Structure 1
Amino acid sequence: MKSQEAIKIFEDKKVRTLWDENEEKWYISIVDVIEILVDSKDFQTARKYWNKLKQRLKEEGNETVTNCHQLKLKASDGKLRFTDVADTEQLFRLIQSIPSPKAEPFKLWLAKVGKERLDEMSDPELSIDRALKQYLELGYSQNWINQRLKSIEIRKELTDEWKRVGVKEGQEFATLTDIITKTWADKTTKEYKILKGLKKENLRDNMTNTELILNMLAEASTKDISEAVNPKDFNESYDVAIQGGNVAKVAKEELEAKTGKKVVTNKNAKNLLENK
């Protein structure tokens, strides 16, 4: 199954989703949905609710629960863990078993999410417009959003280049990303997130403008160098990643020398939005 993980937003709540390109459908984390519908602030409470509901529905012979399966989604600790998921049709049926005032608005949102993806497949610019709208709704500045959207484009160009030279998605992508980040920021992705007090939040969504720009420089440089030297395997791509990261490292160190301020800080989205 060729799939792409994404985070969707419902009333400021994050819902983990996975798009299956072969089946052309979304698979959505059931626990995330239940956390919203029962208005729980605690993930563990939502998980216990789902376990009890799942057991009851199984005892009733509910086919929807029987047909649900598990996929690996990123957990709050950043690791990929098997998670109960359902497609939109299955979720519509499950929602009927959960008494909640948010059931109807969530159904409307769910239908909209499915339609948006199909529309985006025929017109990719729509995905950019949707991302712009979501960031504006969350309170980010227009200047930051412009940088973030550009960073998405540059990241895509880099991963396309990695695919071209035979780097494998998943662990190898993650390893090269880590070495780029470690080289320019002197921190792995995990260390960077710890500095900013993040768990399941997206690191780039919590970078300052300057951090985003330097990360883009590192990834764009890695892509350009890779195209120039045409690495033959993962090990050669690893060396290229270090070279790309070094371009941004030099720029970072020169900026810090001029300003007397550290570029990589513990500022995250909460700080940034409060101090806009």
Structure 2
Amino acid sequence: MTKVNAIQLFEDKKVRTAWDAEQEKWYVSIIDVIEVLTNSDRPRKYWSDLKSKLIKEGSEVSDKIGQLKMQAPDGKMRLTDVADTEQLFRLIQSIPSPKAEPFKLWLAQIAVERLDELQDPEISIDRALNQYIQLGYSESWINQRLKSIEIRKELTDEWKSRGIKEGQQFAILTDIITQSWSGKTTKEYKILKGLKKENLRDNMTNTELILNMLAEASTKDISKAVNPDTFEDNINVAKQGGNVANVARKELEAKTGQKVVSSSNAKLLLKSKSSGNKK
């Protein structure tokens, strides 16, 4: 299955999803859905009990449930039970919740939105813009973040043209770029910012985003110039691209006397913005 993992927001709660491009349908983490609908602090236990109940009732829904690797709270990709939209509608009928109907409408809407985005990629950018506005990010940060999405897409397209495989190889090259410019692996960077399953880029400051963009854009440009043939060649290109931003980072730090790579995360950045607006 060709899939793209994504975090969706329902009433400010995160729901892990994966888009199956071949079947043109979403797969959604059942644990996340249960947590949203029940506010249970033990959604896994709730799901385990619900599965047992459905089996006793002779329901075939739980038999058709599949598993996909999704990012767990500790940041690692772990197998979790998922269901497509049709299966979720049936499961939700077995979960007493005042949020059931709004959630069904939300599920139907994201399915339609994804098909719209495939026809017009600009729609996905507009939706991302609105989502960041709702979360409270500043206009300048949002502009940088949307540009970073564009640059990231250009880089991954270049990798695909070189035969780089999505998943592990993408992750390895991304980690090399991050470490080359920031001096930290992606994992170390997220630990510094106190992150678990949150997106690292969504928790970068403007300056961090700019340097990360420079690193990825440089990697893409160097790749087009030298035409790497093997994965090892692409690793060398990733190091070179990251180093371009590393030089810029060190020069900026020398001029300002301040470290670029910081522990600031979205929670702190948005709190700071909120406090500033109250003054």
Q: TM-score with structure 2 length normalisation?
A: 0.96
Show the 5 A alignment for 1:117-196.
117-196=114-193
- C-alpha distance in structure 2 between counterparts of 1:4 and 1:267, whole Å: 28
Equivalent residue number for residue 2 of structure 1:
2
Equivalent residue number for residue 13 of structure 1:
13
- C-alpha distance in structure 1 between counterparts of 2:167 and 2:123, whole Å: 26
1:170 offset after TM fit, Å? 1.3
Q: Secondary structure at the match of 2:50?
A: helix
1:83 offset after TM fit, Å? 0.7
- C-alpha distance in structure 2 between counterparts of 1:179 and 1:201, whole Å: 20
Show the 5 A alignment for 1:60-71.
60-71=57-68
Q: Secondary structure at the match of 1:16?
A: strand
- C-alpha distance in structure 1 between counterparts of 2:19 and 2:217, whole Å: 26
Paired AA for residue 204 in structure 1: R
Equivalent residue number for residue 250 of structure 2:
253
1:134 offset after TM fit, Å? 0.6
Match of 2:197 among 189, 196, 200: 200
Aligned residue pairs: how many?
273
Q: TM-score with structure 1 length normalisation?
A: 0.98
Q: Secondary structure at the match of 1:63?
A: coil
Paired AA for residue 234 in structure 1: F
Alignment partner of 1:113 is 2:113: no
- C-alpha distance in structure 2 between counterparts of 1:82 and 1:181, whole Å: 26
1:163 offset after TM fit, Å? 1.1
For residues 238-264 of structure 1, the C-alpha deviation after alignment (integer angstroms, 9 at most, x for no partner) is 111110001000100111011110000
Q: Secondary structure at the match of 1:173?
A: helix
Match of 2:88 among 86, 91, 99: 91
Equivalent residue number for residue 52 of structure 2:
55
Q: Secondary structure at the match of 1:105?
A: helix
Alignment partner of 1:81 is 2:78: yes
- C-alpha distance in structure 1 between counterparts of 2:106 and 2:170, whole Å: 32
Match of 1:216 among 197, 213, 218: 213
Q: Secondary structure at the match of 2:249?
A: helix
Match of 1:225 among 222, 225, 234: 222
1:25 offset after TM fit, Å? 0.2
Q: Secondary structure at the match of 1:4?
A: strand
For residues 94-145 of structure 1, the C-alpha deviation after alignment (integer angstroms, 9 at most, x for no partner) is 1010001111111111111111111111111111111111111111111101
- C-alpha distance in structure 2 between counterparts of 1:168 and 1:121, whole Å: 21
- C-alpha distance in structure 1 between counterparts of 2:110 and 2:150, whole Å: 22
- Of residues 219-228 and 155-164 in structure 1, the stretch that sits farther from structure 2 once superposed is 155-164
Q: Secondary structure at the match of 1:117?
A: helix
- C-alpha distance in structure 1 between counterparts of 2:161 and 2:135, whole Å: 35
- Of residues 63-72 and 135-144 in structure 1, the stretch that sits farther from structure 2 once superposed is 63-72
Identity %: 73
Q: Secondary structure at the match of 1:109?
A: helix
Where has structure 1 moved over 2 Å in runs of 4 or more?
none
Paired AA for residue 89 in structure 1: E
Gaps of 5+ in 1: none
Q: Secondary structure at the match of 2:94?
A: coil
Q: Secondary structure at the match of 1:199?
A: coil
- What is the root-mean-square deviation in Å for CA atoms of aligned residues? 0.7
- C-alpha distance in structure 2 between counterparts of 1:191 and 1:254, whole Å: 22
1:19 offset after TM fit, Å? 0.3
- C-alpha distance in structure 2 between counterparts of 1:204 and 1:190, whole Å: 13
